[in-house]
Amino acid sequence: MGQRSSAPSSSTPTSTYHVFTSFHGLDTRTAFTAHLWTALELRRIRVYRDDENLPRGEVIQTKLMKAIESSRIAVVVFSRNFATSEWWLDELVKIMECKSQLGQKVLPVFYNVIHPRCENKLEILRKDS
């Protein structure tokens, strides 16, 4: 898909990126996430973009964790298969640590899934109609 918008200049948790996107690639990479990246980058917002050809392993895992730490905002895209990826769940844990320890903002996006709080209300609406 693409390269990172910019490379981190240091290993300190300064805001190298405005936004880190966490998502399940098969569900959203070529649709929602690609459009989100384009829209943000057109507005000169620095986005950490993982390359779909990144090899799995310790080095990449370390780079991703540093990218999360060095982002002001994490956009977490919850999709149908997000919980099937241990990789994605590790990212989510790191994002939540950065939220509590560094004050990072987290924006959840529910893509083609229903938020659990809405489930009961939708069921009531279905019964009433």
In the β-sheet with 47-48, what is the strand arrangement from edge to edge? 47-48, 17-22, 71-78, 105-110
Catalytic residue, from 86, 91, 97, 123: name it. 91
Burial class for 42, CB neighbours closer than 10 Å (0-12, 13-18, 19+)? exposed
Per DSSP, 113 falls in state S
Active site residue 91: yes
Q: Which two tokens stand for residue 3?
A: 């390269």
Label residue 97 exposed, middle or buried (CB < 10 Å: 0-12, 13-18, 19+): middle
Q: Tell me the catalytic residues.
A: 91
